[in-house]
Amino acid sequence: MSYPDGTSGWLITRHAEAKELLTHKSFSARQEGLVSPVPTELQYEGRPADPGAFAKTDDPIHGKYRKLLTGFFTVRRTRQLAPMIERIVHEQLDDLEKAGPGADLVEVFTESVPSRVMCEMIGVPESERKTLQRHAETLGRLSCTVPEALAAVSGMSGFLARFVPARMDDPRDDILGDLIRGGQLDEQELMGMAATLITGAFDTTGNMLAMGVFTLLEHPEQLAKLQADPELMGGAVEELLRFLTISHLGAGRWALEDVEFAGQTIKKGDVVTVALPAVNRDPERYANPDQLDIVREDHGHLALGHGVHQCLGQHLARTILRVGYEALFDRFPTLRLAVPADEVPMRDDFVHYGPRSLPVTWDD
């Protein structure tokens, strides 16, 4: 594979090889060695991740930070958050009903639910949420210019530079408060960790929520099965994650040493891109991989990653998706697109794929 900066690397499209690489000790997730597989003005090559920004680090640094957060995102803790998630979902559906047929589901519902959930978990004031959402959106746009990125980084870091020290003086009963009371992180690390949680939650789950609704509306026979038997929702969420794989640029790693892998010699420093959408439709792994089948029993998808870097918030994301889809189609059983599907504008210039807007209508 040729990368936009002129270097050569590797592309993985098969499920078995992707799983192996994502757990292979000879490959690193550190930011300083990664290269974007698509053209972008934003260059992070050669720069290590900020303190606390654990997603683009390796162990032991990655493990140190992740261990401090794992307890907040377990299955048990997520179950405890379900009433809060349900409240937020229904409040946003109230807003959708008030907006009336023709409303943009992205604006009113799908981008607001996960961002509100994470803000409550961290303790971010609601008054700051939409501004932070715009900053995160800018940084996730591949066509973002350097001045736009600098403005977004300045806005995000400016908020965190006010917010984190204030909470260090007065820790609350939330994730940030618990991290502060733990006493293991300094101010810069707390800021980096908060930024990672904010940008991760705001961008990924909202896009998946919107893309899942769009997809179900375009597959009415699948939606009818789901509405006839709500017990299918858990499997439907997994199948939508596999089928859509909104991380359409995949996962990146780079070789720490010369290594023989899948019959090839990968040289030290070579970048490898795991094409997650292709991996999750590998015909060697899935029967009829290009078909959406909500009763599919063979999951094992890699939409949320694999290995030590598997999505920290995966249980939270699944709960938001399940509650969101259930409540939306229960409240609006006749929900449908208000425009032809090919007129729905897509976020094809973003790190995570989904609709820019999703006009919907329903019968009163």
CA dist 63 and 57 (Å) reads 9
Question: Of 36, 250, 248, 10, which Cα lies nearest the Cα of 1?
Answer: 10
Q: What are phi and psi of 65, to 5 degrees?
A: -70, -45
Amino acid letter at 236?
A
Specify whether the CB–CB gap between 15 and 280 falls below 8 A: yes
Counting as low any pLDDT under 70, the low residues of the chain are: 44-46
d(CA 294, CA 364): 28
DSSP result, 154-196: HHHHHHHHHHHHHHHHS--SSHHHHHHHHT---HHHHHHHHHH
Supply the pLDDT for residue 40.
Answer: 87
**What would the CATH number be for the domain defined by 10-354?**
1.10.630.10
Long-range Cβ pairs for the range 298-301 (8 Å, 24+): 299/235, 299/238, 299/239, 299/242, 300/15, 301/238, 301/241, 301/242, 301/245
Tokens of 242: 């596999």
Residue type, 315: H
What is the predicted pLDDT for the residue at 3? 93
pLDDT value at residue 5: 87
Q: Write down the pLDDT at residue 44.
A: 64
**205, 247 contact by CB (below 8 A):** no
pLDDT at 237: 98
Q: Which residue has the tokens 């609704």?
A: 213
Residues 243-302 have pLDDT tens digits of 999 999 999 999 999 999 999 999 999 999 999 999 999 999 999 999 999 999 988 999
Q: Whole-model pTM?
A: 0.96
- Structure-token pair, residue 161: 């530079």
* Integer Cα distance of 240 and 142 in angstroms: 24
Cβ neighbours, 10 Å, residue 119: 22
DSSP states of 318-342: HHHHHHHHHHHHHH-TT-EESS-GG
Task: Tell me what pLDDT residue 84 has.
Answer: 98
